[in-house]
Structure 1
Amino acid sequence: MAPLQASNTINLIYISGVLLVFYIIGASFYNVFLHPLRSYPGPLLWKMSRFARPLRLVRGDLPLYMRKLHDKYGPVVRIGPNELAFSDPQAWKDIYGHRHNGEQELPKYDGFYRAVDNIPRGIINAFREEHGFLRRQLSHGFSDRSMQLQEPIIGSYVDLLVRRMQEQCKDAATALNMREWLNWTTFDIIGDLGFGSSFGCLEDTEYHPWVKTVTNSVQQTSFLNALSTIGLKPLVRISLRVLKMAVTDQQRRVRAKLQQRIESGVERPDFIEGLIKQKEAGQLSFMQIATNASTLIVAGSETTATLLSGAMYLLTSHPDKLQKLAEEVRSSFKNDDEITLTSVGKLSYMLACLNESFRRYPPVPTGMPRQSPKGGAFILGKFVPEGTVVAVWQYAVNHDPNFWTEPYTFAPERFLGDAKYKDDKLDAMQPFGVGPRNCIGRNLAYAEMRLILARIIYNFDLELDESSRGWLENQKVYNLWDKPGLNIKVTPVVR
C-alpha cells in the first residue's frame, strides 16, 4: 500500500501544480485582455498580477518609480489588476474631494489602511459616520483659539531645543544630527498635546523607547503592507505575533500615559480633551481614545520632523536660498521673544521654502488609496468601475513636468509668483490632502514648522556637513522615507 499511496500523493501534487499553472495563465489572460481596466496603460507584469508592485515597495523605490511610470504611460497608469495611479490636479478633487448631487464619497481602501482585520478603527481608517464624529470631537483642539492657548506649551519645547543645541555647539561650529533633534522636538511637543506630558527626548537628549519603536518601524511596516497586498494576510498575522512583545509594550506605554492624562482631571487646550469628554459621556471607550491618541501622535510628529529635515537639507544644499531666508528671519525680529506662533506667519519667504520642501520631499510620498464606490465613479472624465483602487501618488505628481517648471529644482520662488514659474500648477501639490478627510492638523503643523525653523535660523548659522551630501537623493522610501542621519554644522550667531 505504501508505494501506491506515495504514487497517489505524487499524482495529486502533479495535478495540483498543473491546475495552479492553468489558473495563473487564465487569470493573467483575463487581467490583460478581458478585465474592465484593460484599456488603461501600464507595465504588462503589473497588469497581470499583484506581485510586481510590492517588490518595488520592499526595494524601497516604489514612489520614485511611479514618476517614471507616469512619464512613460501618462496621467493614469494601471499598477495592478484592479488599481490605478493618477498624476493630475483634478484627480485630487475627483478621488478625495467632496461629492455633490448625491454622489458617494470614495471610501478608504482597507487593504492599505488595515493590513490585518483586527486593527481597531481610528480617525485614519474609520468609516464615514464614525470619522465625522471623531473629527468633530478633535476639531476644537486644532482651532485657532486652541493654538493660541497651546503656544506656551509648544514654545517651551522650542526654547529647550535651542538651549540644548547651544550647549552642544557652544562657541564653535559643531556637526549635529538634525534628524534626531527635530524628531525629539516634534515628539515631545505632540506628546504633551496628546498625553499631557512629553516623552522627555529633549530633556534626556535621547529617544524614548516608544518613540524609538515608531521611528524604527518604517521598513517593517512596508514589508507587512506588501504581504497584505499580495493576499498573504495570514503571514502578516504571524509576523505580528512574532512582534507581539514590542507591540504589547507599545500599547502598554500608550495606555499608561493616557490614563495619567485622564486621571489628572485638568482641562487642557490639547486635541485629546474632546475625546475624554466623550468617554465621560459614554460615547467612546478608553481603547478607542488610546487608538486615536496613538495615531495622532505618530501622524503629528513623524511627518513634521520629516518635512523639517528635508527643508534643512534643501536649504543647506542651496546656500543662496538659506542666506535669503536668514536675512528675512533676522531682520524681522529683535529677539527670541518676538518669534511666536503668530508672528512667524508674516515670514513669506519661509512659507515658500516650506512649501517647496513639501513639493520636493513630501513626508508621505506614496498614494493614499481610495476605492471606487458602488456604481463606480468618474475620475478625470473617465468611468472607473466599482471596487477599483485609486490614488494620487504625491512624489510623482509633485515632480510631474506637465505641472512644474524644472520639477527637480529647489525653487521657493515658484510659490511667490516668480514669472519663471508662472505656468506651475500649484494645486497639483496637496501634502495635507483635500476634501472631508484632509489633515485636521494642517494649521498646527505649519505654525509649528515655522516656529521651529525660525528659531533655529535666528540663533544659528547652518552648513551641510560633507558626510550628508546626497542625503535626499540616496534615500530609500517605503510608505514613508527611511531617513538616515542628517549632519549639519551648527554655529551660534554672535550678537
Structure 2
Amino acid sequence: MSVLDPLATQGNQAKTALLVGAATISLLLYAVGTAIYRLWFHPLAKVPGPKYMAVWDVPSQWRSFITMDMVRHAAVLHRKYGPIVRIGPDRLAIEGSVSWPEVYGVRSSSAENEFQKIPGLAFPNDHMALLGAGRDDHRRQRRQMGHAFSSSALHEQEAIITRYVDKFMEEITLRAKAGEPLNMVDWLNFTTFDIIGDLAFADTFHSLDGDTTFVKNIFRGVEGSAYRRFWIQFPMLKLPLMWKVGRKELAAATAAGEENFRLGRLKGQARMAMGAEPRDGRRDFATYMLRKGKDGESVLSDAEVQTLSSVLVIAGSETTATALSGFTFFIATHAEKRRVLEEEIRTAFADEADITMTRTGQLEYLAAVIEETLRLYPPSASMPPRASPGAMVHGQWVPRGTRIQVFQQATNRNPDSFVDPDSFEPERWLKPTHPRYNPRFSHDKREVVKPFSAGPRDCIGKNLAYAEVRVIIARLLYRFDIELMPGQERWMDDQRAAFVWIKGPLEVRLKPSAGAAWD
C-alpha cells in the first residue's frame, strides 16, 4: 500500500465532512431565513396567530388530518386571536361571519376573482364532481342535478324514504321490545345509506337487512382519506405518520377509503347500464344525471356520473346520520327540551302514519331543535379550504394562493355571536310569537350558522336532508322515550373530526311512549 493512500483517504473524509457540514449549515440558514421571512416580512406577517404555525404548515395539518382535533383547537384560536387567524405560512382560519359573505358569496362574474376549491383535496379527480369542480363545470353539473333535489322531486321521493323509515322503526322496535340497548349511530347510518342508495341508484345497500359491510367501512375510509391528504402534502413525513398510526392501520384505513370510492363508482356503473329510467319507471338521481341536452348530447360524461355517484353516497347519507346522531345525544341529555318536543310531536299527530314531510315542516319547536343541533354539532365539522385569487378580506390583503378555511364550531360557538354559546338552547331559534320564545336570545347572530355551506356552492341536497331529519325525529319521539345508557355522557366530547366527525357508538335504551302502539 502506498504511503499516500491513508493521506488520500483522510483527505476524502475531510472533504465529505466539510460538504456535510456545509450542507447542514446551509439548511439551517435556509430554515432560519425562511422563518424570519414568514414571521416578519411575509404578506400575512401581521395576521395574528401562533408563531409556530406561521413558520411551518405541518402543525395545523397534523392536527387536521392525523390527531384530528383542529376543529376544537380552531375555536380556541379564534377566541384568542379574533375572526382571522394565521394557521400556516399561507393558510388562514376565517370565521364564517366573515367568510360566508366575503369568501363563499358571489363576488363577480369572473372565475378569476373566485375563491376556488383546491383540486384533488377531497379525492383524486374530484374535479369530476360538485365537490371539486371548477366554476363552469360546477354550474353545468349543478344545473343538471338541480331537478333531482327540487320540491316536486322531493314529493316523489317521500314514498321511498318512508319505506326505509318504516323498516328502521320495525328493526329498532324489535330490539327495544327485547330490552336491548341500541347503537343509534349504526342504525341511523344504516337507514340513511339505504335511503340514498335507492334514491340515487334505485338499489338499496341492504344495510337494514343486515348487510352492513359498506356502512361499517365508511368511517375507516374517512380516516384513510385524512391520512392521504396529509402525506400528499408532506411525503417526507409518511414514516412518522406510519409510526403514529401504525403501518397496518394506515394501510387498512387507506384501503377502506379507496374501496368506498370504488364501490360508489360500481353502483354508478350498474345504474348507468339500466338507462336513464330505472326498471320500475320512477325517477331517481341517476335519471337526471343521465338526461340528454336539448340537442341529444350527454350533459355529463360517464366519468362524471360515476364520480358524482360516489359523492352522493357519502354526502347524501353520512351527514344526515350525523345530524340525527347529534340530535339523539342532545335530546337524551336535556330532559326539559325533550319533554317540550315530545309534547309538540305527540299532540300534532293522532297516529304515527300521519307523520309526513309536509306536516313535520309545520312544527316550530322541532325546527328549532334541529337548527340548534346543527349549530352545536355541524355535520361538516370544517369546510374544505378555498384558495384566494388575491383579494381583500375583512380589511386584510390575502395574497393569491392563500388557503382559507372555516371551522364551523368556532363560528357557531362564538360568544360574540351567541348568548351561552356552548349551551343547547332551541329557544334561540323561535319567533317572538312562540310561547317559549326567550328575548334573552334576541340578539344572537343566527345568520352566521351555515351547516350546509353558503353561496353558489352550498349543499344541493339540504332540503332532502331537512325532510329526512324531521320525519325520522318525529317518528322516533312519537313511538319511543329515549334514555341514554350510562357511560355515554362524553360521546360528543371524545370525537375527532377530519371534515366530518368520526363517531363512536351512541348507546341508548328505547321505551314505549305513552299511548304508542308497538304491536
Larger radius of gyration: 2
Letter in 2 for 1:461: D
Which of residues 476, 480, 494 in structure 2 aligns to 1:456?
Answer: 476
Corresponding position: 1:184 with 2:187: no
How many angstroms does 1:141 deviate by?
0.4
Letter in 2 for 1:150: Q
Corresponding position: 1:220 with 2:224: yes
Corresponding position: 1:197 with 2:194: no
Letter in 1 for 2:94: F
Query: In the alignment, what sits opposite 1:211?
Result: 215
How many angstroms does 1:194 deviate by?
1.3
Letter in 2 for 1:182: L
Aligned residue for 1:461, secondary structure, equals strand
Query: In the alignment, what sits opposite 1:107?
Result: 116
Relative to structure 1, is the Cα distance of residues 244 and 381 closer, same or farther in structure 2, using a 3 angstrom cutoff?
closer
Output one character per residue of 1:356-385: Cα deviation in whole Å (capped at 9) or x when no partner.
Answer: 011111111223311111xx2222233322
Relative to structure 1, is the Cα distance of residues 50 and 231 closer, same or farther in structure 2, using a 3 angstrom cutoff?
farther
Corresponding position: 1:78 with 2:94: no
Corresponding position: 1:143 with 2:157: no
How many angstroms does 1:5 deviate by?
5.3
Contact 1:138-1:274 at 8 Å conserved across structures: yes
Q: Name stretches of at least 5 consecutive residues in structure 2 with no aligned partner.
A: 1-7, 242-246, 432-437
Q: Distance in 2 between matches of 1:144 and 1:348?
A: 20
How many angstroms does 1:2 deviate by?
6.5
Count of residue pairs the alignment pairs up:
487
User: What TM-score does the superposition give when structure 2 sets the normalisation length?
Assistant: 0.88
Contact 1:191-1:199 at 8 Å conserved across structures: yes
Query: In the alignment, what sits opposite 1:364?
Result: 380
Q: Distance in 1 between matches of 2:156 and 2:91?
A: 44
1:445-484, aligned counterparts within 5 Å?
445-484=465-504
How many angstroms does 1:221 deviate by?
2.2
Q: Distance in 1 between matches of 2:94 and 2:170?
A: 45
How many angstroms does 1:304 deviate by?
0.7
How many angstroms does 1:39 deviate by?
1.0
Query: In the alignment, what sits opposite 2:403?
Result: 389
Q: Distance in 2 between matches of 1:189 and 1:13?
A: 62
Letter in 2 for 1:108: K
Output one character per residue of 1:317-345: Cα deviation in whole Å (capped at 9) or x when no partner.
Answer: 00111111111111111112211121110
Contact 1:87-1:400 at 8 Å conserved across structures: no
Contact 1:111-1:228 at 8 Å conserved across structures: no
Output one character per residue of 1:428-463: Cα deviation in whole Å (capped at 9) or x when no partner.
Answer: 111111111011001100001101111111111101
1:120-139, aligned counterparts within 5 Å?
121-139=128-146
Q: Distance in 1 between matches of 2:74 and 2:261?
A: 35
Letter in 1 for 2:493: E
Relative to structure 1, is the Cα distance of residues 150 and 405 closer, same or farther in structure 2, using a 3 angstrom cutoff?
same
Output one character per residue of 1:74-123: Cα deviation in whole Å (capped at 9) or x when no partner.
Answer: 11111111111112524211000012475822111337445x5x556311
How many angstroms does 1:233 deviate by?
9.6
How many angstroms does 1:241 deviate by?
8.8
Query: In the alignment, what sits opposite 1:59?
Result: 67
Report percent identity of matched pairs: 36
Aligned residue for 1:94, secondary structure, equals helix
Contact 2:85-2:92 at 8 Å conserved across structures: yes
Q: Name stretches of at least 5 consecutive residues in structure 1 with no aligned partner.
A: none
Q: Distance in 2 between matches of 1:220 and 1:435?
A: 29
Q: Distance in 2 between matches of 1:422 and 1:350?
A: 19
Relative to structure 1, is the Cα distance of residues 101 and 144 closer, same or farther in structure 2, using a 3 angstrom cutoff?
closer
Which of residues 359, 374, 381 in structure 2 aligns to 1:343?
Answer: 359
Query: In the alignment, what sits opposite 1:443?
Result: 463
Output one character per residue of 1:171-218: Cα deviation in whole Å (capped at 9) or x when no partner.
Answer: x654211010001001000111111111001112x51x3332222223
How many angstroms does 1:476 deviate by?
2.2
Contact 1:329-1:457 at 8 Å conserved across structures: yes
Q: Which 10-residue stretch deviates more, 274-283 or 343-352?
A: 274-283
User: What TM-score does the superposition give when structure 1 sets the normalisation length?
Assistant: 0.92
Which of residues 273, 288, 296 in structure 2 aligns to 1:263?
Answer: 273
Query: In the alignment, what sits opposite 2:290?
Result: 276
How many angstroms does 1:493 deviate by?
2.8
How many angstroms does 1:147 deviate by?
0.3
Contact 1:173-1:492 at 8 Å conserved across structures: no
Corresponding position: 1:410 with 2:430: no
Q: Distance in 2 between matches of 1:220 and 1:82?
A: 25
Letter in 2 for 1:218: V
